[in-house]
Amino acid sequence: MEPRRYFADDAPADREEERLRALEALCDGATTRRLEALGVGPGWRCLEVAAGRGSIARWLAERAGPSGRVVATDLNTRFLGGSDLPDNIEVRKHDILADGFEPRAYDLVHARALLVHMPDPERTVARLAASVRPGGRLLLEEADFSMFRASDARYPGAEQFDRSVRRVLDAIGSAGIWNGALGHRIPLFTERLGFDQTGHDCVPFMARGGDDPGGRFWSLTFPLSGPQLVAAGAVEHTDLDHVQACLADPEFRFIAGVLFGSWARRP
Ligand SMILES: C[S@@+](CC[C@H](N)C(=O)[O-])C[C@H]1O[C@@H](n2cnc3c(N)ncnc32)[C@H](O)[C@@H]1O
């Protein structure tokens, strides 16, 4: 299958960093609760794949302590450096579509919001799982935006928001830009690995427009593919404009979907 480019590769650094910061604000609470439940602690060797801005890599480094180690990888490591980077984090530029990692080497392998960008997500899961050591854990987290909609039906324009956001998300999926309906499948991918102690849960993204992380994340995300979708005739300008207007309004409440988490232990 043709490798595809990451859709935000050409985004200006300041906007992309703000987008990733908003994503961290939305997800980090759920992620760290899941990592705590898996028992991440001193001495753990952790692999954080597609680390983005690196908030979880830093959290893992703190937990793993000086006797542990975190390898934080990404296709684009522009946000992962910094003089304040803890000594126990190693940053690696790495394309998960091209290469795997050291086999059976890590106590924890974690990836969040990566598989939705993969042309063959189950193949990527196998690649991630290959680097979990016996007794080690895999944690995958992916969103599912199937229920993206306004929370308050009395909000003026709520119905139009629901219709327009659905058109935009469907068009993004059909164009192969990213898959907004993947999250619910990751428990299956994890179960098929033949690991034990499997489990999953999901956490809703309840959000509002304006400066809320949900409003910021989505109002920075849709314009990345909007012009391409309008040019292809897949969505109307009016759909994008209406969605963006709602996302800019602090009074607008919406559910963006849910963040699935799925975990397992290599026997
Ligand atoms: C939506 S961001 C999520 C970042 C981070 N995991 C988080 O949840 O905060 C997706 C990340 O996947 C990375 N990415 C996309 N394609 C990749 C690939 N083929 N190999 C490695 N990283 C990739 C992007 O550079 C980006 O940092």
Distance (angstroms) between ligand 1 centre and the Cα of 113 equals 7
Residue 139 CA to ligand 1 centre (angstroms):
15
In the chain, alpha helices (H): 13-38, 55-64, 121-129, 158-174, 186-191, 213-231, 237-247
CATH level 3 topology of 13-265? Rossmann fold (3.40.50)
Closest CA to 149 of 201, 205, 202: 205
Output the residue whose Cα is nearest ligand 1's atom 13.
Answer: 50
Domain boundaries, the chain: 13-265
Residue in 23, 24, 75 to alter for ligand 1 test, most ligand atoms within 8 A of Cβ: 75
Mean of pLDDT values over 78-94: 93
The reply to whether the predicted model has a pTM over 0.95 is yes
Nearest alpha carbon, ligand 1 atom 1: 113
Residue 24 CB less than 6 A away from ligand 1: yes
- 43-81 confidence digits (pLDDT tens): 999 999 999 999 999 999 999 999 999 999 999 999 998
Output the pLDDT for position 4: 59
Instruction: Look at residue 152 and tell me whether its pLDDT is greater than 60.
Output: yes
Average pLDDT value over all residues in the chain: 96
How many other CB atoms are found less than 10 A from the CB of residue 2? 5
Per-residue pLDDT, averaged over 218-243, amounts to 96
Verify whether ligand 1 is closer than 6 Å to residue 97 (CB atom). yes
Of all protein residues, the one whose alpha carbon is nearest to atom 26 of ligand 1 is 52
Given a contact cutoff of 8 angstroms between Cβ atoms, the answer to whether 32 and 59 are in contact is yes
Q: What is the pLDDT of residue 81?
A: 82
CA 159 to ligand 1 centroid distance, Å:
32
Amino acid, res. 116:
V
Please state the φ and ψ torsions of residue 118, each to the nearest 5 degrees.
-95, 140
pLDDT digits (tens, 9 = 90+) for 169-201: 999 999 999 999 999 999 999 999 999 999 999
